[in-house]
Amino acid sequence: MKKTYEIAGQVMGFFDAFKGSRPAIDNDKILIVRGRSRKVIPLNEFDAKLTEIGEILGGTELEPDSDKLDEILKAGDKNIQESEITTNSVDTKGFLRVKEDLESMGLVVEYKIFKLPSFDVIIAIWEDKNEIPPLYVEVTVSEDKG
């Protein structure tokens, strides 16, 4: 089993979103898995839960406004473009626009970026602002060449 699958599996298992989850993109350098859970996490616990899974993975949390985020997104974009799926360039503003779009639909979104040995991991979770299931989970595991 590839290490990317192990990392994504840990995240999906942690949020009880493994059943029915599936890769959105999967190639030798990047894995993006999306899933949903019937579990409801109180909104005020989002940050703590993301920190907890980051610690379980053994990752170092990066600040979302750091220059490293831009580097990770650009590297991830390059890895995505190597898959069969056609995509436009990704930038941090585009990443934040998706978050804003979800929030405008009444969802609360939280994400964290973690640096692991050989991998960059972005974990995003979101749910209805009234804490109505499902809880959506997306994990991106990208090979780090740096």
**Structure confidence at residue 82 (pLDDT):** 66
**Structure confidence at residue 105 (pLDDT):** 93
Residue count of the chain = 146
How do the pLDDT tens digits run along the chain, 146 residues long?
469 999 999 999 999 998 889 998 888 888 999 999 988 899 999 999 999 999 999 999 988 777 777 777 777 777 666 665 555 555 555 667 788 899 999 999 999 999 998 999 999 999 999 999 999 999 999 887 66
Q: Supply the Cα-derived Rg of the chain in whole angstroms.
A: 14
- Give the separation between CA 25 and CA 32, rounded to whole angstroms: 5
**Structure confidence at residue 129 (pLDDT):** 94
**Structure confidence at residue 2 (pLDDT):** 67
Backbone angles phi, psi at 86, to 5 degrees: -85, 135
State the amino acid at position 103 in one-letter form.
E
Token pair in block for residue 90: 């990704």
Spell out a b/e string for 31-69, using b for 16 or more CB atoms within 10 Å of the CB, else e: bbbbbbbeeebeeeebeebbeebbeebebeebeeeeeeb
Query: What are the extents of the domains in the chain?
Result: 3-143
- Give the separation between CA 89 and CA 83, rounded to whole angstroms: 14
**Structure confidence at residue 25 (pLDDT):** 86
